[in-house]
């Protein structure tokens, strides 16, 4: 974990509600894909946790959906510095991937899979990606994943693009391992549908984002875990679904 | 040279800044960022007799200038705190630490306090009779002078270390609870715990926090805390640790002028993990600005006479 000021390089919409922000700063605390940063914004008390989408040297890319005051404020920024805590969360463990890992993302659960796909491709893996959205106008990053050399399948709930239905209706026959991130109902469906083990990235309202307040704890098979510190990535075998 | 030293129940602190229980874990996360031995001390995560998961999520909500939490005393229980957390804590903190204790019966408090009383390295027992987020415990001991007196007396009879009773602001008359604790033998008091509040999600039309209500902390509650510390320190003679919304060196001085001999810093740690270090670093300059040479001299300085 590190606290520092990151300068905004660019910030703009990918879809109506989803924005991409590139920042420059000390990224040395970020150890891998699946981690997040926690951003301080003027006039708002709590920081906003956003997943790391891409990392190249000292350039950090975040993709976020405007869902409330904080993300709305972020979407209007064009330049300046942001007080950011970086290197938060455990992130995905790539050592379990096998030769042809499957990455499954839903909506703004897709961004953290980008850096993972990039690193897996760099390690010579054959990577399949299934990305689910509600409708065609909400789709982003399909081409970016394709440019990495991933085998990309897009699903839309309304059938306006790609395969009609949820991500679980488009899973390939063969894959060595699963990495996923998305809304909890999607994660639960993926959990029931996949044939291998996997790693699931969760979202929760957080206080601090670095393990001090116990605000985002959940119960797992292996005991209590803080989503911010012991997660956000949980192993399939340790997940205990809330009823 | 500014003198930041203060004294809490007979133990000298190098400065009055104490991270509050529940906002600092057992110190490890913060020790990654700075040497936490610069702190006066810190109050570790509230400990109960048995392990507790706490409340279901969401446990956190934002508020104007603050936050609500309903964590519900998640902790591994006193056995594991002693066998696992304290040895790890000792590796990153070599001063006397404050143990925060909660319970659901007088016997619970006595048991947990007695266990922690035997541990080296613990300087004070902070008895939390004011947690607003658990049912049938915590705050129910802090809302009546009689119950507060009963817990305080029982714990005092069972332990040797100084006992600091942590009071709730969710009462009509905090002074009467404070006096009851003093009469029962409390060596000190700490106040205030969080103020009970709630927020509602406009989209779902339901409370944001699963527990419905949560404890409000952050700068929003500083004026309430100052008022209560001011009133309590006029009525009791035991030392009082002031807390509630402190985020700067100026806030520390204001709280000490209200009557506190030391301060706890809570929510600020969650927003800025360097908050306590920054406050300690800035204290000498802020003291100089206001002509303060010795922090001990200003305790209760705002009182009449």
Residue A219 maps to a domain: no
User: What is the domain-level CATH number for residue A68?
Assistant: 2.40.30.10
| Contact criterion met (CB below 8 Å) for B46 and B100 | yes
Q: pLDDT tens-digit profile of B75-119?
A: 999 999 999 999 999 999 999 999 999 999 999 999 999 999 999
**A43 and A61 share a domain?**
yes
Question: How far does the CA of residue A100 sit from the closest CA of chain B (Å)?
Answer: 36
State the pLDDT confidence band at B138, using cuts at 50, 70 and 90.
low
pLDDT for B135 beyond 80: no
Angle (CA) B188 B192 B194, round 5°: 145
Which among B23, B67, B269 is the nearest to A45, CB-wise? B67
Question: How far does the CA of residue A118 sit from the closest CA of chain B (Å)?
Answer: 29
**A52 and A100 share a domain?**
no
What is the predicted pLDDT for the residue at B142?
85
Residue A236 maps to a domain: no
State the pLDDT confidence band at B305, using cuts at 50, 70 and 90.
low
What is the predicted pLDDT for the residue at B68?
97
Using an 8 Å CB-CB cutoff, list chain B residues near A213. 22-23, 60, 69, 71, 270
Beta bridge partners of A106: A132
Residue A54 maps to a domain: yes
Q: With the C-alpha atoms ordered B19, B20, B25, B26, is the resulting torsion angle positive or negative?
A: positive
Question: What is the span of the domain harbouring residue A33?
Answer: 2-88
Task: Provide the residue count of chain A.
Answer: 243
User: What is the domain-level CATH number for residue A152?
Assistant: 3.40.50.80
Q: How many domains does chain A have?
A: 2
Is B276 known to be catalytic?
A: no
**A84 and A105 share a domain?**
no
Contact A210 B272 (CB under 8 A): no
Residue A227 maps to a domain: no
**A192 and A99 share a domain?**
yes
pLDDT for A10 beyond 80: yes
| Contact criterion met (CB below 8 Å) for A165 and A157 | yes
Residue A180 maps to a domain: yes
- For residue A185, give every residue at least 6 positions away whose Cβ sits within 8 Å of its Cβ, in sequence order, or none: none
**A106 and A197 share a domain?**
yes
What is the predicted pLDDT for the residue at B298?
97
The pTM is what?
0.94
Strand B122-128 relative to strand B163-166, pairing = parallel
What is the predicted pLDDT for the residue at B170?
94
**A81 and A106 share a domain?**
no
Residue A235 maps to a domain: no
- For B25, the 3-state DSSP assignment is coil
Q: pLDDT tens-digit profile of B278-288?
A: 999 999 999 99
**A65 and A109 share a domain?**
no
Mean pLDDT of all residues in chain B? 95
Q: pLDDT tens-digit profile of A199-237?
A: 999 999 999 999 999 999 999 999 899 999 999 999 999
Domains and CATH numbers, chain B: 6-56+73-200+220-298 (3.20.20.70)
Count other C-beta atoms under 10 Å from residue A78's C-beta.
8
**A62 and A131 share a domain?**
no
| Contact criterion met (CB below 8 Å) for A217 and B57 | yes
**A107 and A42 share a domain?**
no
Question: How far does the CA of residue B166 sit from the closest CA of chain A (Å)?
Answer: 19
**A66 and A138 share a domain?**
no
What is the predicted pLDDT for the residue at A243?
66
Which among A1, A213, A217 is the nearest to B22, CB-wise? A213
Distance CA A46, CA A206 (A): 9
**A18 and A33 share a domain?**
yes
Q: What is the ipTM of this complex?
A: 0.91
H helices, E strands: number in chain A = 4, 15
What is the predicted pLDDT for the residue at B133?
66
Distance CA A13, CA A17 (A): 7
| Contact criterion met (CB below 8 Å) for A15 and A32 | no
H helices, E strands: number in chain B = 10, 16
């Amino acid at each position: 974990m590190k606290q520092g000021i990151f300068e905004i390089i660019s910030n703009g919409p990918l879809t109506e509600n989803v924005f991409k922000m590139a920042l420059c700063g000390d990224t040395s605390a970020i150890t891998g894909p699946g981690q997040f940063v926690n951003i301080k914004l003027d006039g708002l008390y709590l920081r906003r946790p956003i997943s790391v989408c891409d990392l190249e040297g000292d350039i950090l890319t975040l993709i976020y959906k405007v869902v409330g005051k904080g993300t709305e404020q972020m979407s209007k920024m064009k330049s300046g510095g942001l007080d950011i805590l970086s290197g938060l969360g455990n992130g995905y463990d790539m050592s379990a991937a096998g030769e042809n890992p499957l990455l499954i993302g839903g909506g703004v659960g897709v961004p953290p899979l980008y850096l993972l796909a990039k690193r897996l491709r760099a390690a010579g893996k054959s990577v399949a990606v299934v990305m689910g959205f509600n409708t065609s106008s909400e789709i982003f990053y399909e081409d970016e994943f394709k440019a990495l050399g991933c085998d990309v399948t897009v699903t839309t709930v309304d059938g306006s693009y790609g395969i009609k239905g949820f991500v679980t209706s488009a899973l390939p026959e063969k894959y060595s391992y699963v990495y996923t991130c998305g809304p909890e109902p999607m994660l639960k469906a993926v959990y029931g549908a996949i044939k291998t083990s996997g790693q699931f990235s969760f979202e929760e309202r957080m206080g601090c984002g670095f393990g001090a307040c116990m605000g985002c704890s959940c119960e797992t098979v292996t005991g209590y875990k803080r989503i911010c510190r012991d997660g956000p990535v949980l192993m399939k075998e340790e997940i205990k679904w809330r009823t | 040279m500014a003198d930041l030293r203060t004294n809490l129940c007979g133990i000298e602190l190098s400065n009055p800044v104490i991270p509050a229980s529940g906002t600092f874990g057992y110190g490890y996360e913060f020790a990654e960022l700075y040497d936490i031995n610069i702190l006066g001390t810190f109050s570790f995560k509230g400990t109960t007799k048995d392990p507790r998961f706490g409340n279901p999520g969401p446990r956190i909500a934002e508020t104007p200038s603050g936050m609500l939490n309903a964590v519900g005393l998640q902790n591994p229980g006193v056995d594991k705190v002693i066998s696992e957390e304290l040895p790890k804590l000792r590796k990153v903190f070599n001063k006397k630490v404050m143990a925060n204790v909660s319970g659901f019966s007088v016997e619970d408090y006595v048991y947990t306090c007695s266990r922690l009383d035997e541990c080296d390295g613990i300087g004070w027992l902070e008895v939390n009779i004011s947690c607003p987020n658990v049912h049938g415990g915590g705050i129910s001991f802090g809302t009546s002078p009689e119950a507060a007196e009963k817990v305080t007396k029982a714990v005092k009879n069972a332990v040797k270390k100084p006992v600091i009773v942590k009071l709730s602001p969710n009462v009509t008359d905090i002074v009467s609870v404070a006096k009851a604790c003093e009469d029962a033998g409390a060596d000190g008091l700490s106040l205030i715990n969080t103020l009970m509040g709630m927020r509602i999600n406009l989209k779902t039309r339901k409370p944001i926090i699963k527990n419905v209500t949560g404890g409000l902390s952050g700068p929003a509650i500083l004026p309430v805390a100052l008022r209560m510390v001011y009133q309590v320190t006029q009525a009791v003679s035991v030392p009082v640790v002031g807390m509630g919304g402190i985020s700067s060196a100026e806030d520390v001085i204001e709280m000490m002028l209200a009557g506190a001999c030391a301060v706890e810093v809570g929510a600020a740690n969650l927003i800025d993990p360097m908050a306590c270090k920054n406050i300690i670093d800035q204290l000498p300059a802020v003291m100089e600005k206001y002509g303060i040479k010795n922090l001990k001299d200003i305790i209760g300085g705002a009182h009449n006479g």
